[in-house]
Amino acid sequence: MAQEQQEQKQIRVGVLALQGAFAEHIILLNTLPQVSEAVAIRNAEEISKVDALVIPGGESTTMALIAERSGFWPSLQEFVRTHPTWGTCAGLILLSEYITSGGTLKGDQKLLGGLGISIKRNAFGTQKESFEAGLHVEGLENAEKLFPGVFIRAPVIDEILKPDEVEVVAKLEQDYGRTPKGTIVAVKQGHLLGSAFHPELTHDNRMHLFFVKMAQDWIAKQQK
Ligand SMILES: NC(=O)CC[C@H](N)C(=O)O
């Protein structure tokens, strides 16, 4: 196993830099020996040169609008369909198949899709109601040490639409306002990872390591 991991090639990771907290992701990714370089991605040419992508937190509607107006949307969507991608917060929203509002499926926000989940935006309230919660993340290095989950106008995953394919990797461990303990806040499906919280706003790079290893494993499998 250790041998196998050593043989894995370093990967070049892009961070979507249309809007939001992309700089912080680049800094954390660049701390990992598994990453040859982490770079900002703003167009089709730049995305064609990376092995994996992170879509940061920010404003999902703004990111979609910028990508669409600049003509980047189709290649962004194609990349997400075919390469390891991790969405955090607004990024998780963009990777979802559906957005729910009051329990009804709504299809009016432009989404990249790929994760068989439905999502509820701004589920915890406003910016002022941001909070930090210790999380157990399935498969994280030193998993017994809680991961500091930073939630800012965060979405929640309110339904798993494809239970055979989607793996839950983190849940809230206590109630937060109207959002109950047990609410799903991170999932994995094939080459896609999504988290409602912001690991880039911590000094803990274990979620970044988790994604990069998942991406390396997935890429290695495709080449077999
Ligand atoms: N911190 C965030 O990324 C907030 C996400 C934002 N509420 C959205 O809907 O896109």
Determine the pLDDT at residue 102.
46
pLDDT at 70: 96
Question: Greatest CA separation found in the chain?
Answer: 50
CA distance 181 to 172: 5
**Does residue 56's CB lie within 6 angstroms of at least one atom of ligand 1?**
no
- Residue found under tokens 């929640």: 156
What are the residue numbers of the active site?
89, 198, 200
ipTM higher than the 0.85 cut: yes
Alpha helices in 52-146 (DSSP H): 60-69, 73-82, 90-95
Where does 112-179 show beta strands of DSSP type E?
Answer: 115-120, 131-135, 147-151, 156-160, 167-171
Q: Is 152 annotated as a binding residue?
A: yes
Check the annotation: does 121 bind a ligand.
yes
Question: What's the confidence (pLDDT) of residue 6?
Answer: 52
Backbone torsion region of residue 134, taken as left when φ is above 0, otherwise alpha when ψ lies between -120 and 50, otherwise beta: beta
The residue nearest atom 3 of ligand 1, judged by CA position, is 57
Tens place of pLDDT per residue across the chain (224 aa) = 444 555 689 999 999 999 999 999 999 999 999 999 999 999 999 999 999 999 999 999 999 999 999 999 999 999 999 999 999 999 999 999 998 864 455 556 789 999 999 999 888 878 888 889 999 999 999 988 999 999 998 999 999 999 999 999 999 999 988 789 999 999 999 999 999 999 999 999 999 999 999 999 999 999 87
CB distance 60 to ligand 1 below 6 Å: yes
Query: The dihedral of CA 140, 86, 187, 126: what is its sign?
Result: positive
